[in-house]
Structure 1
Amino acid sequence: MGLGAYVLASGAGTALAQTSDADYSLHGKHGVQMAQAATHGGHGGEGGEGGEGGEGGEGGEAGESQALAGLSKEQAYLANISMIRGHLNVGNELYAAGKTNDALPHFLHPVEELYGELKEVMDEKKVPAFKSDLDKLSGMVKRKVPAQQVQEQTEVVLTRLTEATSVIPANTLSDPAFALPVVVGVLRTVTDEYTEAFEGDTIANPVEYQDSLGFARVANAMVELMTPALTTKDADAANQLREQMNTLLTTWPAVTPAKKAVRSASEVSALVSRIEFATARLR
């Protein structure tokens, strides 16, 4: 997996969909999707290596916004793993474009804002800690090491994320009643992050814009993997869900935000609400 491609999580891990050999190039050994990266990056800030938030986190994106309220512990756990993948998604895209400073926050935030949210389930299910792997990755990005080295360490982290997901039973992961609320929780976080990117009508915080993009991508990857099963359940509702997700993704034409946004924060919020409504028929 090269840094000329971005990483999209399967969201529910490799167990969510049983991929054939022909699917391997799409989903890969970590349950990831590969797609051509956009050619432009955004702007990011500096931060301390691997964790001002430490192992306990800072509450972070989902914790502060309560976007995951109402989810079970396992659902919230999966949502937070998916959002770590979302950060790696945009971080790798920016790093591949040579925008190493802009990429850095997206390698720091998994520890600062999300890793601590995983700890309860990790402890209960005896998932090996992988904070040191995340710290090593962010440290490499801070030092601006060659892209190949970042690529190799990203593969290590993706392996850890897949292992962390595998503690949830496969039949649970593949159940729309379990997985679709995870999608909704991630999309609610998209709304929060996208809203925080604005000052007035202008996108003034590219990092939050990029966070929302990465999270929207992983939510979309989850829906794509579930689409065959959802279509069997209710073809019309599944088609509506896919159309609305495709519309949502046009909010981010590039990883670098333009000053004038494609959609306002309220428009994204309304679209996410429609997506949430569409999922209700499919659970």
Structure 2
Amino acid sequence: MIKFRYICLSVAACAIVTLSSCSSGTPTAENSPAPNNVNPATKTTHTGSHSGHSSNKKVNINTAILSELDKFEGQLGVPALSHKIQASRPYGSPEDLVTKKVITQEQFDKIKDQVTIEEVVLTGEAKDVDYMTKLGLMKGHLIVAQELLDKNQPKQAEPHIGHPVEEIYVDVEDQIKERKVKEFKTTLISLQDLVKAKPKDAKVKTDLTSSIQAVDGAIAALSETERTNPSFVLQVMNGLLDAANSEYGAAIANGKVSAAIEYQDSRGFVVYANDLYKGISSQVAKKNPTAHKAIETNMAELLKVWPSVTPPAKPVKTPEEVTKLVTTIEQESQKVVDASSTQAQKS
């Protein structure tokens, strides 16, 4: 069984990297820094906005966190592959996955177009989208934690409280400093320690609210203009939906929800993505009514997949059906992004 994951986002100029999932179990690893002996010539800089989602988005196997690597675990059906890839770093080339016997040549051939050792440095809008998406993933985790606490299930809530600090914060920490946002890692750690030691303490819910407010404060470091720009928000929203899609796929096995934490995390990401869309829906409806209708309809259908924070006995939809809904939303969203880009070029 997959031990633990979180969702993070690496964004290139023309793509938002597909993310995957968090799962049950005790955390065993965190994001690894880039290996010192990776050739600096492999570093590239990407600026500006994104222009779509594709199945060929590349993941840097030297620097990707477990959740990014998790997509390969799902594709190849190899248990704990994320951890195996991480443990065998650094890689001088993607082919080292085979040389180091992490996967077979046959398995590598299935994912070779999706892996790289190239480091991506984000700037401009791409960096801002990456920043808000990571914070959005934190928010999704905490939303689920709050739901579980409201149901008096602190033990189930604890992993969702732990993942933001154990897995995501490290990837956004530099940006938090750059943007002069007050650090809130201490707040997250204190909350996690409290829920572990005194899960029934009334202070748990108060501290959780403080943690959510801290994440919102970090998001507020972005300009209001950007945070209310449909093109920008849709890119963040689609990153969250990519994450949810991967998580949901990892949660379902043999027609059942086999990993409750992954099910719950995917719910949290979709709920927050939907909240984000509500904030821009009137703007999208005014300028792109057809795209808005399609996004709204498919989002409503997508939300039905998670009727409760507690997994249903039988999944409402198959992973394939969820992927279809997410893909449709992304495609329609991209039409809005592209239209906005064209309009900006004309102005």
Shorter-chain TM-score tier: 0.7 to 0.9
Q: Hey, what's the Cα distance between the residues in 2 that align with 1:108 and 1:47?
A: 10
Matches within 5 A, 1:1-283: 45=24, 47=26, 53=30, 59-61=65-67, 65=71, 72-146=126-200, 148-283=202-337
Distance 1:54 1:270, change over 3 A: closer
Q: Hey, what's the Cα distance between the residues in 2 that align with 1:60 and 1:140?
A: 26
For 1:59, give the aligned amino acid.
Answer: I
**CA deviations over 1:49-93 (Å, ceiling 9, x no partner):** xx9638979825357559xx9981211110111111111111111
Distance 1:197 1:64, change over 3 A: closer
Task: Indicate conservation of the 8 Å contact 2:24/2:260, yes or no.
Answer: no
For 1:185, give the aligned amino acid.
Answer: G
Task: Indicate conservation of the 8 Å contact 1:45/1:101, yes or no.
Answer: no
Task: Indicate conservation of the 8 Å contact 1:46/1:101, yes or no.
Answer: no
Task: Indicate conservation of the 8 Å contact 2:245/2:322, yes or no.
Answer: yes
Task: Indicate conservation of the 8 Å contact 1:184/1:276, yes or no.
Answer: yes
Q: Hey, what's the Cα distance between the residues in 2 that align with 1:279 and 1:217?
A: 17
**CA deviations over 1:34-63 (Å, ceiling 9, x no partner):** xxxxxxxxxx85646xx9638979825357
Task: Indicate conservation of the 8 Å contact 1:104/1:142, yes or no.
Answer: yes
Task: Indicate conservation of the 8 Å contact 2:144/2:265, yes or no.
Answer: yes
Task: Indicate conservation of the 8 Å contact 1:62/1:189, yes or no.
Answer: no
**CA deviations over 1:175-195 (Å, ceiling 9, x no partner):** 122111111110000011001
Distance 1:246 1:196, change over 3 A: same
Which 5+ residue runs of structure 2 have no aligned equivalent?
1-22, 34-62, 73-119, 338-347
The TM-score, its normalising length taken from structure 2, stands at 0.63
Q: Is 75-84 or 209-218 further displaced after alignment? A: 75-84
Query: Bigger relative contact order, structure 1 or 2, given CA contacts below 8 A and separation 6+?
Result: 1
Distance 1:114 1:128, change over 3 A: same
Task: Indicate conservation of the 8 Å contact 2:155/2:199, yes or no.
Answer: no
Q: Hey, what's the Cα distance between the residues in 1 that align with 2:263 and 2:313?
A: 11
Q: How many residues are aligned here?
A: 237
Q: CA deviation at 1:202?
A: 1.9
Task: Indicate conservation of the 8 Å contact 1:96/1:147, yes or no.
Answer: no
Q: CA deviation at 1:160?
A: 1.5
Q: Hey, what's the Cα distance between the residues in 1 that align with 2:31 and 2:324?
A: 35
Distance 1:55 1:169, change over 3 A: farther
Distance 1:229 1:63, change over 3 A: farther
Report the aligned-residue RMSD. Answer: 2.7
For 2:284, give the aligned amino acid.
Answer: L
Q: Hey, what's the Cα distance between the residues in 2 that align with 1:254 and 1:62?
A: 26
Task: Indicate conservation of the 8 Å contact 1:65/1:189, yes or no.
Answer: no
For 2:286, give the aligned amino acid.
Answer: T
- Which SS does the other structure have where 1:281 is aligned? helix
Q: Which residue does the alignment assign to 2:4?
A: none
Q: Is 103-112 or 169-178 further displaced after alignment? A: 169-178
Q: CA deviation at 1:120?
A: 2.7
Q: Hey, what's the Cα distance between the residues in 2 that align with 1:102 and 1:58?
A: 27
Which 5+ residue runs of structure 1 have no aligned equivalent?
1-43
- Which SS does the other structure have where 1:282 is aligned? helix
Q: Hey, what's the Cα distance between the residues in 2 that align with 1:257 and 1:194?
A: 11
Q: Hey, what's the Cα distance between the residues in 2 that align with 1:174 and 1:60?
A: 31
Q: Hey, what's the Cα distance between the residues in 1 that align with 2:317 and 2:139?
A: 24
